[in-house]
Amino acid sequence: MIKTVKDLDLKGKRIIMRVDFNVPMKDGVVQDDTRITAAIPTINYILGEGVKTLTLMSHLGDPSKDAKAAKEKAEKGGKPFDEAAYIKGKHRIKPVADYLAKKLGKPVVFAGEDGDYGKKGFIDGQPAGTVIMLENTRFHKEETAKDAADRDKLAKELATYGDIFVNDAFGTAHRDHASTASIAKFVPVSVAGFLMEKEVNYLEPIVTSPQKPLAAIIGGAKVSSKIAVLESLLKNASALVIGGGMAYTFLKAQGHRVGKSLIEDDQLDTAKKILDTAKKVGADIVLPVDHVAAEAFDAGAKPVSVDSLDLPDNLMGLDVGPKTLAKYKDVLAKAKTIVWNGPVGVFEFDAFATGTREVAKLVAEATAKGAITVVGGGDSVAAVNKFGLADKMSHVSTGGGASLELLEGKKLPGIEVCRS
């Protein structure tokens, strides 16, 4: 069980809160405010409790990684590169603070572009009820340092900015960083925000004690990235619906012809093992029985319907066919819990989006009939948003890697610090 902000008396306290405002930006403008909006209920609750100050912290992108790539590109083109100017131009968090102020309808004080150290006096000098935003936490190498002692250096400083640490950044809960987990060692008490609480309450029971039957839809390109989640879900699932590029590794493992489809030959034995385990535990593995294929992986490629399990040598599978969707419908109609991670086709290409769109509709229908439905993972979240069905699901996770690791049964550092 995790502790939340509702378990504490916040009146007069200084709150230091980790949020996930790692939002897409273009020319200093927020392009998608989903993560910002998700944190507002916790922010408003805290402010409503009469706190002294609420100091927010988040990362925005990966400054070091992005700068390295930009530098290499500039050097190849024979152009000069100012790393400091690049980072300041692209990764400053002040535009996000300004955007949040508009959403909240009240000022958000930016703590300054000189980093996150030495801000205690500034924070403590603010009027009661002030919202403060620190600079991008990843401007400090200590934030993501592998050595705990290095992370603790920044964490100790951040801890002086609050009497209570609130973690509402589920998207980074799997990261053992200074601002997500290490800080908890240096504050009197750590609790979760409402977003973190909601994520845990929906995702953890899928692994520990789901309402059965449980059906899991697992898609995406590669088996290698989903091995742990497949093995974890097999402990409780009555059916695993496997789609996307990874399905073709399973079909090849069964001896089927897969044409030019994406295959991980080094995962064929893994696929066979998962198929054998499913058989032993009595879980159905639902693979494509027909396909929408093409000669090339291209948005403009001509779709070709293949009404059989096997694909001709000149085609690659890019979506599932109508017979497969009929099988999906039968499986999902029986489920009381559905978890979906990864698309079943290349939904980014309109000609190959039908399968993923129809799966989204089937999951929405199941929700309307009383099933618990959870969408986790960046691509499947992008899909339900694209098809306008996000609000028809029980829960759409805000964390890609975090939701995947939680479904794998792992303990996430950012969650564990909030345990009672």
Q: Alpha-carbon torsion 47, 50, 55, 57, what sign?
A: negative
Query: What is the DSSP pairing of strand 291-294 with strand 316-320?
Result: antiparallel
Task: State the catalytic residue, choosing from 378, 399, 400, 414.
Answer: 378
- Residue type at 414 in one-letter notation: G
Q: Is 112 a catalytic residue?
A: no
Task: State the catalytic residue, choosing from 120, 222, 361, 410.
Answer: 222
The secondary structure of 68-137 as a DSSP string is HHHHHHHHHTT----HHHHHHHHH-SHHHHHHHHHHHTS-EEE--SS-SSS-HHHHHTSPTTEEEE---G
* Both structure tokens of 45: 């609750």
Distance, CA of 113 to CA of 95 (rounded, Å) = 12
- Strand arrangement, sheet containing 53-57: 108-110, 130-133, 53-57, 14-18, 164-167, 189-192
* Both structure tokens of 308: 């059989």
Q: Assess whether the previous peptide bond of 213 is cis (omega < 30° from 0).
A: yes
Task: State the catalytic residue, choosing from 13, 14, 18, 35.
Answer: 35
- Asked if 331 and 286 touch (Cβ cutoff 8 Å), the reply is yes
Let me know the angle formed at the C-alpha of 2 by 404 and 195, rounded to the nearest 5 degrees: 60
- Asked if 113 and 92 touch (Cβ cutoff 8 Å), the reply is yes
* Both structure tokens of 123: 């924070």
Q: Is 378 a catalytic residue?
A: yes
Residue found under tokens 């089937």: 362
- Asked if 8 and 49 touch (Cβ cutoff 8 Å), the reply is no
Q: Catalytic residue numbers?
A: 35, 222, 378, 401
